[in-house]
């Protein structure tokens, strides 16, 4: 179809720069490509609803790039954002992840929104900080495992570290007035790109039913489903373990 005639647009990009880079030296152009896609945003002027979906590194890319981009769209468009497994936290007990991300940002020449004034630039990638930069009318849905294998491995945290999970819950709660949340205690990384994504549950409510409700809901009241006690989740046994891989 001609550009502007589509219902769904998928952009596949694999330079591992979190959609943040702008460097000819290292061929990291995630930031440039992302904004080039929407350079002529008048192509979307007739849209009633636009849903941005990002998984893992793609989710971080949305958190980084959308705050500036969304302001260019017409206020008449219902803009929504779904972040699947891209909500990272600053786990203070371990500096491994911070060191690794700083190296990556320097290598990629990561572009950070001017709205983020944090001294430690890596914190602009964290969900709780990035969310503050979004326009208040944007509806955001966070899907995040409390036992995200990639994030646990990234910070070199033992899989049974409930201290990390409790800090993740607290971090999500701090932003709960701005976001809807589906946070089960399934030891995996990523939900929506699995063939059985619709079967994951918290307190008998499936991810698919919660997402459908959220997408149709015009009210701004967030939906919160968090497995606070780590026993209310249903995690299908035959999920694809090959998706549990590092984002770098």
Distance separating alpha carbons of residues 147 and 163, to the nearest angstrom: 11
> What tens digit of pLDDT does each residue of 176-219 get?
999 999 999 999 999 999 999 999 999 999 999 999 999 998 87
Which pTM was predicted? 0.88
| The length of the chain, given as a count of residues | 248
Closest CA to 145 of 215, 243, 18: 243
Of residues 242 and 21, more confidently modeled: 21
Class of domain 30-243 as given by CATH: alpha beta
- Give residue 185's Cα distance to chain centre: 17
Q: Report the range of poorest mean pLDDT among 4-13, 56-65, 117-126, 193-202.
A: 4-13
> What tens digit of pLDDT does each residue of 105-115 get?
999 999 998 88
Beta strand 179-183 with 139-143 is: parallel
Distance separating alpha carbons of residues 168 and 143, to the nearest angstrom: 12
Alpha helices in 38-161 (DSSP H): 57-69, 96-108, 127-130, 149-154
Report helix, strand or coil for 246. coil
């Amino acid at each position: 179809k001609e550009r502007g005639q589509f219902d769904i647009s998928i952009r596949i990009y694999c330079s591992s720069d979190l959609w943040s880079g702008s460097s000819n030296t290292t061929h990291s152009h995630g930031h440039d490509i992302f904004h080039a896609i929407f350079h002529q945003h008048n192509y979307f002027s007739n849209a009633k609803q636009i849903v941005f979906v990002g998984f893992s590194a793609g989710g971080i890319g949305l958190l980084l790039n959308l705050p500036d981009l969304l302001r260019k769209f017409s206020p008449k468009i219902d803009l929504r954002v779904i972040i699947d497994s891209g909500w990272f936290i600053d786990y203070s007990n371990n500096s491994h992840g911070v060191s690794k991300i700083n190296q990556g940002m320097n290598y990629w020449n990561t572009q950070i929104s001017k709205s983020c004034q944090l001294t430690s630039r890596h914190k602009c990638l964290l969900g709780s900080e990035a969310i503050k930069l979004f326009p208040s009318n944007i509806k955001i849905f966070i899907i995040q495992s409390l036992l995200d294998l990639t994030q646990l491995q990234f910070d070199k945290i033992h899989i049974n570290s409930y201290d990390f999970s409790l800090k993740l819950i607290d971090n999500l709660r701090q932003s709960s007035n701005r976001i809807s949340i589906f946070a089960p205690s399934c030891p995996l990384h990523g939900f929506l790109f699995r063939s059985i994504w619709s079967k994951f549950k918290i307190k008998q409510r499936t991810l698919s039913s919660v997402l459908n409700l959220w997408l149709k809901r015009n009210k701004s009241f967030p939906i919160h489903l968090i497995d606070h006690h780590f026993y209310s989740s249903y995690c299908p046994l035959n999920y694809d373990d090959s998706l549990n891989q590092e984002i770098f």
